[in-house]
Chains A and B, each alone.
Chain A
């Protein structure tokens, strides 16, 4: 892991300065690479490739994992290139400096950054190519470039002069690349901001979309792996005598993380793998339990070293002393698993120093770096092709399964498709860390807060994944810690506590625990003040128009304050995350078995300028459904270091009959775009928890809110 961390660190350092607009022709995948060699396709810049037949390809620097980037990002390029989306083909970019996500410093799909990072960069990229094509045509026709229009793949000059983009594509690559080409005023957008059909839908409705699991190479063999049931444990010895005699089995290979079986079909590999008896050195992880993890985190919250999230405002201690009433509460968020529906897999072909990697990843250069370190080859000798991701949610930022595939291929000297079982996947995740939030507020005689002390204790993913130094603020633990409300005296503290669990970034990251705690606590303050939770929030939002607007829109749309059918109640919550402002109203009742049913979630969202409003809606629906599962149904538990949830029965995501109606209000805005893949997940938790409290009078401060938790409350 150290080598990987080192390579990631140096990588982050060296790549942070990289920007778009570099000529890129080194790592073109497949047929396009061959076409380039034949001289038929030309690359004015890294984002646009134009064939002499006028075929236009736009590169997506971000992986398509359902969030719609293969549509939204090319929309930005196409807007300025003046082509329709149905005229272009979209492909995944290879690893390359031009494709670095400036918001994260690496070629990473995550953090709801795709549209935010691409908003200007990709429009400029499209405009550059447009201007280079126009300059090429102007030179050739010997006319003023201002007299040439680029429109829908055609260059139109004076006196009926006319040519395709493809005709001038080669010449355009020799034109100077304008650094600041003119880009459109958003009010003149033809594509951006319009509801647009996703480019990947047709392939996803007839079985032709290629996911990692579908990759096939000539001569390819299939592998599966047994890893230590305690994450981090190592192989002491293993007995594969029976496996080796089973049909189709080609090899049993010890790799860094376990024992892999390689066969001529995946099922044969899996059957044989079940017979391999491994003796494990379980290591320090064997002592872990979920109760211990949470209790350790709670102790850390009480007495651990405090890191300031933001400079304190006013004097919290004095304000608490002078308060008419002091409220305190502790909220607990358990560990969670990503469990995307496509289990971890990757295909690798190691040939000497050259490595081919194909599969689903959110972190292209990380994959290159990790495999380079593990196999002691050069990153530039690793070709990587990204397939569709069968879900990511943060799991595919990790590189463990990619290194495994490469190690197995190296051992057997063949192309290998490694595929984990669901059980391996669920028990060997990088889990959303548990979090303990402790909040304290002082209320005045009118019940309004004069002071708020926020404290969160949890584990740092960034320390593990990117080597963030100890005792420094991890910004990915402090998201949504600071609320939008006007409170005169505030203090926000973070305690980083390493529980020993292997943790990872999970959809909405720390927003999920911090918004749950904050917005539950605001409801508790409103109750202590004897005030309506909506009106109470509104009183604290003077001068915060984007917060106040979404809060009002959601409340109005949901019919806040109006009578509901008997046995139902509303809960409301508000958050800013990823530069997007969201308010949700959840309507809940209790099922006969005592579990919570969410009938409807009304969400109002101000995400700034939208690229594809339909995708914004889809992501709101998606993130809310994802959130409902974590609020009401599932968590990861551990006994003797072993994750107890093994498949979708013990860790069961929301199903169709549990999926609420979702009403959406989108705010028209010209603010800079916010991210929308994640924040909805975080807001769902307090909205539902507050509705449950309103319905039952019981405040559940530990997720998930199951029937048992509610009975015990």
Chain B
């Protein structure tokens, strides 16, 4: 039985068992490897995507839960790094190993979609589910504020 949904605005269809986590559907069936596997238990946030605009951990989201819904991944921010968060990420040279950054970006995008002037506490609350073992937090914080400024001006 296949499941139909949208990924980054385009129709998608997956044939995996319906309890397969969305993460593995994206990565292994749809070939979208920007979303990463870190813990498999919603502890690290590396697999963060949006489902109908909400940040979710795709490792804990079964395929059948996204039937008919809109999924957004890091590939959907923009391919050419023009999203304000990507611009800010590059400006601050945020990534180190880079492995967690897709998830960080998607958590930040969910935050800024609702709050274009986040305080430090807002950032703590929105981002504390995303682990960066390289410790890029100071730059993530600075980049989110910068992106928010860009989005307020836009």
Chain A positions within 8 Å of B, measured between CB atoms, are 64-68, 197-198, 200-211, 213-214, 216, 222, 247, 265-268, 339-343, 388-393, 419, 421-422, 614, 618, 621-626, 647-649, 652-657, 659, 661-662
Q: Could you say which residues of chain B place their CB within 8 Å of the CB of A343?
A: 37-38
Closest chain A residue, CB of each to CB of B106: A207
Partner of B105, one of A68, A205, A647: A205
Partner of B89, one of A201, A265, A393: A201
Query: A298 to chain B: closest CB distance in Å?
Result: 30
Query: Are B135 and A614 in contact, with the CB atoms below 8 A?
Result: no
Query: Are B73 and A622 in contact, with the CB atoms below 8 A?
Result: no
> What string of 1s and 0s marks CB contacts (under 8 Å) between B19-63 and chain A?
011001001110111111111110110100000000000000000
A-B complex: 8 closest residue pairs judged by Cβ atoms: A207-B34, A625-B135, A66-B96, A390-B99, A204-B98, A66-B97, A659-B137, A657-B124
Residues of B in contact, count (CB < 8 Å): 63
Question: With A422-B38, A648-B39, A659-B137 given, is the CB distance from A207 to B75 under 8 Å?
Answer: yes
Bound form: Cα–Cα A621–B92 in Å: 13
Bound form: Cα–Cα A266–B127 in Å: 28
Bound form: Cα–Cα A652–B41 in Å: 13
Query: A340 to chain B: closest CB distance in Å?
Result: 6
Bound form: Cα–Cα A341–B59 in Å: 14
Q: Could you say which residues of chain B place their CB within 8 Å of the CB of A340?
A: 97, 99, 133
Bound form: Cα–Cα A388–B95 in Å: 12
Chain A at the B interface: SS class: loop
Other A-B contacts than A265-B29, A647-B43, 9 sampled, CB-CB below 8 A, are A200-B98, A205-B90, A206-B34, A213-B37, A267-B16, A388-B97, A389-B97, A618-B139, A623-B135
Query: A245 to chain B: closest CB distance in Å?
Result: 14
Bound form: Cα–Cα A112–B18 in Å: 46
Asked if B136 is at the interface (CB within 8 A of a chain A CB), the reply is yes
Q: Could you say which residues of chain A place their CB within 8 Å of the CB of B74?
A: 206-207
Closest chain A residue, CB of each to CB of B35: A207
Closest chain A residue, CB of each to CB of B105: A205
Closest chain B residue, CB of each to CB of A625: B135
Query: B104 to chain A: closest CB distance in Å?
Result: 9
Asked if B112 is at the interface (CB within 8 A of a chain A CB), the reply is no
Query: Are A622 and B134 in contact, with the CB atoms below 8 A?
Result: yes
Partner of A341, one of B44, B85, B90, B123: B44
Q: Could you say which residues of chain A place their CB within 8 Å of the CB of B29?
A: 265
> What string of 1s and 0s marks CB contacts (under 8 Å) between B114-154 and chain A?
00000000011101111111111111110000000000000
Query: A71 to chain B: closest CB distance in Å?
Result: 9
Bound form: Cα–Cα A657–B77 in Å: 25
Query: Are A342 and B38 in contact, with the CB atoms below 8 A?
Result: yes
Query: Are B97 and A421 in contact, with the CB atoms below 8 A?
Result: no
Query: B91 to chain A: closest CB distance in Å?
Result: 9
Closest chain A residue, CB of each to CB of B144: A656
Partner of A207, one of B39, B73, B85: B73
Partner of A422, one of B40, B89, B98, B99: B40
Bound form: Cα–Cα A695–B46 in Å: 36
Query: Are A66 and B24 in contact, with the CB atoms below 8 A?
Result: no
Query: B15 to chain A: closest CB distance in Å?
Result: 11
Bound form: Cα–Cα A207–B85 in Å: 13
Query: B77 to chain A: closest CB distance in Å?
Result: 7
Query: Are B33 and A342 in contact, with the CB atoms below 8 A?
Result: no
Query: Are A198 and B16 in contact, with the CB atoms below 8 A?
Result: no
Bound form: Cα–Cα A649–B44 in Å: 9
